[in-house]
Amino acid sequence: MRTGQCHCGAVRYALEGEPMHHTLCHCSDCRRHAGAPMVGWAMFKSDQVKLGQGEPKVYESSETGRRHFCADCGTSLFYTNEAMLPGITDIQSATLDDSDALPPSAHIQVADRIAWMKDVHLLPEFARYPGQ
């Protein structure tokens, strides 16, 4: 069973079985809510998602979209939309305890992508910081 949590650990969750898919979303709503250039989402049926402890706060990010986050540390955790995705919970995959174990399979919403994100794999890399 996969597990994950917010940054402070107040909210923990577990996931039964496999996701329908795992994608990297470039839409402007995800970017702004996460404060990050893209967001990984693993899509599960809501009954596969078990809250271990804590209760996320729910933000109405659109008419029917709901973003669930830790009210203590602010980490974004889940997305639900009962109008468009009934019975589905998207898990913000970077909150998994073992993110390496669930690689994504596609980029989505690239129509919204920040232009320079297309070539970020070409940037120089440092194991920690430059000069170390």
Give the footprint of Zn ion on this chain (CB under 5 A).
6, 8, 10, 25, 27, 30, 70, 72-73
Of the pair 15, 25, the CB lying nearest Zn ion is at: 25
- CB distance 101 to 42 below 8 Å: no
The minimum distance between CB 33 and Zn ion, in angstroms, equals 9
- CB distance 113 to 26 below 8 Å: yes
- Looking only at the bridges linking them, the beta strands covering 106-108 and 21-25 are parallel
Of the pair 102, 110, the CB lying nearest Zn ion is at: 110
> Which of 89, 106, 84, 124 minimizes the C-alpha distance to 38?
106
The minimum distance between CB 127 and Zn ion, in angstroms, equals 28
Of the pair 27, 110, the CB lying nearest Zn ion is at: 27
